[in-house]
Amino acid sequence: MSAPEFKLYDSLSRTVKPIQTVEPNQLRFYSCGPTVYSYAHIGNFRTFITSDLIVRTAQSIGWKVTYVSNITDVGHLTQDDVADASGEDKMARALQSKEGEEFANVWDLARHYADAFESDWRHLNLLPPSVRPRATDHMREQIVAVQDLIEKGHAYETPTGVYFNVDSFAEYGKLSGNRDRESLQVAVRDVVQDDNKKSPADFALWKKDDKHLMQWFSPWGWGFPGWHIECSVMAQKYLGDTIDLHGGGEDLKFPHHECEIAQSEAGNGKPFCNHWLHVTFLQVEGEKMSKSKGNFYTARDLFDQGFGPLALRLALISVPYNKPHNFTLQTLRDSQAHIDRFTESLDRIGKAGFTMDDFPDGQLPEGPLSKLSEIYSEAQAAMLNDLNTSVAVAKALEGNKLILRDHLDGKTAAQAAWFLKKINNLLGIVYATFADPSEGEEFEAEPEINGKLITQWIVERSEAKAAKDFAKADQIRNDLAVAGYELRDSIEGTDWKKIR
């Protein structure tokens, strides 16, 4: 039996091809993280969940994964045509905004949003990265890398900073297709207009600015690093000169990743990365989501509306990462219903007295649930084929349907648990693994409606039913529904559930 292939679209070669790791069964993966100047929105998480699914899929075929996902906590320019680097940067702007007033300085602001980000990350069942480096913790390495590029003739100093000489790297533009140097000057982020630059397309490696809110001392005086150098440096530090896979949002393809390639390959003469992944931007309710329009949801916005993190996660992966995805609240409601059905299965397994570990991996289910093994394999195969999450999710639901159909006696309950655990390891949509219950979602106290606890109402309704007073029983049920709680009758009694 040949080793399974993990096929993924590669933005550089523009083909779907198997990931070829430098070391067999060992994936070195760098995924660009957020700049922490605000709460992360659901579009950010489409990208991070995609990275998470890559790690899970690779692990499912036995690969070891070194997964680096950084946090950018240095502000970078918002207006790249500002001649001097004293123009606003993202984090400084955030500090001056209404939300920013509560922070003493940019460092506090960065810490707050980074903590919030990591909390959202756990709630969304995202695997912890092997390393989560921060740009500010790697200032020395960045400065050394810039010096190195100067020594090798790929960078030069001007009165405003240090720039990468694009003409010294013939391959510049190979990822994005932006080969035309002249047209770059109008459309390039992080390009500073400076008459001393050798080419308008040259981008900043270091910006001189002794007024900047975050500044460090360098051989070129006080200032701060260019945006792209941090990723080149941290990728090399934690993953080596040549990495197997590098990913991020589609906006990062150019200039960010293009510049990373130039810096890294010019610096050490080795291929920087063998496989590039870019996640297509999310649409919301049929429209482009953007911060400037203000029509975006943060993850916590939706949690506050009562949607579970797993429902959000499922909604975000219901369409493959490289296809346009119009996120709607309807999709989110559908997803919540699916999650609730997984929860239903877990409850039944629990009631049958089983845990997730009662069926030894390595054995295959038999009897009424014997198809679960095949269904899992199909889900895994879909993921190995360029992360076809639509099919993988369909398989997960198909398996869950079989489970809900079964009476779950001892043997099948254990098999059902096996399937749900395998699916959760692959897709992370069945149950929460990382969220600390004490954090965020507080345990809900039993609700009180019209002065009585809900269980008291349930008892009263049962008594009314026993006395054939159905008008009263229905009245109670209606009142609770208006208050937002749904009743579920079963042989064991009546349960209640919050309506979303």
Interactions with RNA, residue window 330-389 (CB under 7 A): 330-331, 334, 337-338, 340-341, 344, 385-386, 388
Are 187 and 225 in contact, with CB atoms under 8 Å apart? Answer: no
Of the pair 237, 500, the CB lying nearest RNA is at 500
Of the pair 416, 473, the CB lying nearest RNA is at 473
Q: Choose, by CB under 7 A, the member of 326, 355, 377, 450 that binds RNA.
A: 326
Of the pair 98, 488, the CB lying nearest RNA is at 488
Pair of tokens at residue 111: 């810490």
Of the pair 270, 401, the CB lying nearest RNA is at 401
What's the min distance (Å) between Cβ of 303 and RNA? 18
User: Residue count at the site for RNA (CB under 7 A)?
Assistant: 78
Q: Choose, by CB under 7 A, the member of 254, 297, 359, 418 that binds RNA.
A: 254
**Nearest Cα to Cα of residue 422 among 388, 390, 368, 383:** 383
What's the min distance (Å) between Cβ of 24 and RNA? 26
Q: Choose, by CB under 7 A, the member of 65, 95, 124, 282 that binds RNA.
A: 282
Name residue 287's beta-bridge partners.
Answer: 284
What's the min distance (Å) between Cβ of 277 and RNA? 10
Look up tokens 């523009």; give the residue. Answer: 14
Q: Is 308 near RNA (CB under 7 A)?
A: no
Q: Choose, by CB under 7 A, the member of 84, 88, 241, 251 that binds RNA.
A: 251
The answer for 285, left when phi > 0, alpha when psi is -120 to 50, beta otherwise, is left
First-to-final CA distance of the chain: 48
Beta-carbon contacts of 213 under 8 Å, excluding residues fewer than 6 positions away, are 75, 89, 91, 92, 95, 105, 106
Of the pair 150, 273, the CB lying nearest RNA is at 273
Question: What residues between 136 and 195 interact with RNA by CB under 7 A?
Answer: 176-178, 180, 183, 187-190
Question: What residues between 43 and 82 interact with RNA by CB under 7 A?
Answer: 43-44, 46-47, 76, 78, 80
Q: Choose, by CB under 7 A, the member of 148, 241, 250, 460 that binds RNA.
A: 250
Pair of tokens at residue 395: 């398989």
The answer for 286, left when phi > 0, alpha when psi is -120 to 50, beta otherwise, is left
Helix (H) or strand (E) holding 400: helix 389-405
Binding mask 197-236 for RNA (x = CB under 7 A): ----------------------------------------
Look up tokens 């001393």; give the residue. Answer: 196
Identify whether 255 is preceded by a cis peptide bond (ω within 30 of 0).
yes
Name residue 273's beta-bridge partners.
Answer: 243
Which residue stretch of 146-154, 215-223, 391-399, 421-429 sits at the interface with RNA (rule: CB under 7 A)?
Answer: 391-399
Q: Is 460 near RNA (CB under 7 A)?
A: no
Look up tokens 């080596």; give the residue. Answer: 240
Binding mask 465-494 for RNA (x = CB under 7 A): x----x--xx--x--------xxxxx----
Q: Is 438 near RNA (CB under 7 A)?
A: no
How many whole angstroms separate alpha carbon 6 and alpha carbon 236? Answer: 24
Of the pair 40, 58, the CB lying nearest RNA is at 40
How many whole angstroms separate alpha carbon 411 and alpha carbon 422? Answer: 17
Beta-carbon contacts of 67 under 8 Å, excluding residues fewer than 6 positions away, are 27, 29, 31, 51, 55, 127, 129, 130, 131
